[in-house]
Amino acid sequence: MDWQRIIINALEASVGLQAVVFALAAIGLNVHFGYTGLLNFGQSGFLAVAAYGLAVTVATFDLPFWLGIVFGLLGAVVLALLLGIPTLRLRADYLAIVTIAAAEIIRLTVRSVTFEGTFGGSDGRQGFAGGFYDLNPYPKRQYNIGEFGFNERQMWILTVGWVLVALSCLIVFLLMRSPWGRVLKAIREDEDAVRSLGKNVYSYKMQSLIIGGVLGSLGGFVYALGQASIQPDIFGTDTTFFAYTILILGGAARVASPVVGAIVFWMLLSLTDNVLNEAIDAGYISSSVINNTQVGQFRFMLVGLLLMLLMIFRPQGIFGDRREIALDAR
């Protein structure tokens, strides 16, 4: 088995495109769920709106790249308003139902044959990332330390991606240490108590939904630009649940936890994937037990198992405070 290759792959996965995208998605969810207690099960919808906002503006309507970003961001804000206005006055579970449904509606709309001319059906859209790579300051070559490294396009998107992650974390940090963040955390604990103290709970929940949605939508941009193409099925419900997994893995309501969660999550997926494949190739695991094509699914089972163990032995996640979890039992 080629352990060097396995480790390099794992390292590349831990800083790679998926890690960035899911870190951003989970940072947004952290604002929703971790801090405000909003059950948003449609985070993939925010990523989709941003990605398609950009792709359609540029590829379909031939408008400039920056306008695509603007439309994508506007799309995320509008989606948050549409989701929030009818549900945020109601009990928490209504938001959960509406968000999961809305995300699916978005996915099915953009993949529908009816709108194929606009959204590209199940093939999605490509040819919209040129404007972004025109701005690439990295000269064309391979950027390597030993075997670990990326080409100039990957370097550019990863640089932008990680800067966005850092900025998002900074914003969340600044907001959550402020009185504004205190209101959100209080809403998570008990809405009525916050209301009785004269705070407009509805407005704060809406602000939280918008900010978390916009932060998540950055993940949609990064994904679209990194792949230089998008397909509707990337934005299915499993995207949302990966983001939840990452958030809980890191520990909800901690600024850095979505980032560390994303890094650990994608590193683990890469490790299990590579180790199993290598083991099968080397004959350590008989292909009658499991073959290479099954590994892709099987690694999620392993990750699921790992998460279960984590919840049992460290329910607060990597960064959480055990004392807080103990309070729930009172």
- CA–CA distance, 292 with 299 (Å, rounded to integer): 11
Closest CB to other proteins among residues 134, 328? 328
Residue 40: CB minimum distance to other proteins, A: 18
* DSSP-derived 3-state class of residue 70: helix
- CA–CA distance, 326 with 317 (Å, rounded to integer): 13
Residue 192: CB minimum distance to other proteins, A: 6
- CA–CA distance, 53 with 78 (Å, rounded to integer): 12
Closest CB to other proteins among residues 22, 35? 35
Closest CB to other proteins among residues 230, 252? 252
Measured over the CA atoms of residue 97, residue 327, residue 199 and residue 45, the dihedral's sign is negative
Q: Which residues sit opposite 150 in a β-bridge?
A: 143
- Specify the residue for token string 């800067």: 163
| Dihedral angle over CA of 35, 39, 45, 49, nearest 10 | -40
Residue 216: CB minimum distance to other proteins, A: 17
| Dihedral angle over CA of 78, 81, 83, 88, nearest 10 | 170
Closest CB to other proteins among residues 146, 198? 198
Residue 24: CB minimum distance to other proteins, A: 19
Residue 206: CB minimum distance to other proteins, A: 11
Q: Which of residues 271-330 bind other proteins (CB under 8 A)?
A: 323-324, 327-328, 330
Closest CB to other proteins among residues 147, 321? 321
Q: Which of residues 185-204 bind other proteins (CB under 8 A)?
A: 185-186, 188-190, 192-201
- Our measurement of the distance from residue 272's CA atom to the centroid of its chain's CA atoms, rounded to an integer in Å, reads 21
Residue 208: CB minimum distance to other proteins, A: 9
Q: What is the DSSP letter of 123?
A: G
Q: Examine residue 62 and tell whether it contacts other proteins (CB under 8 A).
A: no
Q: Examine residue 105 and tell whether it contacts other proteins (CB under 8 A).
A: no
> Contact with other proteins (CB under 8 A): which of 13, 164, 211, 271?
211
Closest CB to other proteins among residues 147, 189? 189
> How many helices and strands, by DSSP H and E, does the chain display?
15, 4
Closest CB to other proteins among residues 62, 192? 192
- CA–CA distance, 74 with 49 (Å, rounded to integer): 9
Per-residue x/- track, 157-186, other proteins (CB under 8 A): --------------x--xx-xxxxxxx-xx
| Phi, then psi, of 229 in degrees rounded to 5 | -160, 155
Residue 201: CB minimum distance to other proteins, A: 7
CB 242 within 8 A of CB 22: yes
Of 162, 198, 185, the C-alpha closest to 23 is: 162
Q: Which residues bind other proteins (CB under 8 A)?
A: 171, 174-175, 177-183, 185-186, 188-190, 192-201, 207, 211, 323-324, 327-328, 330
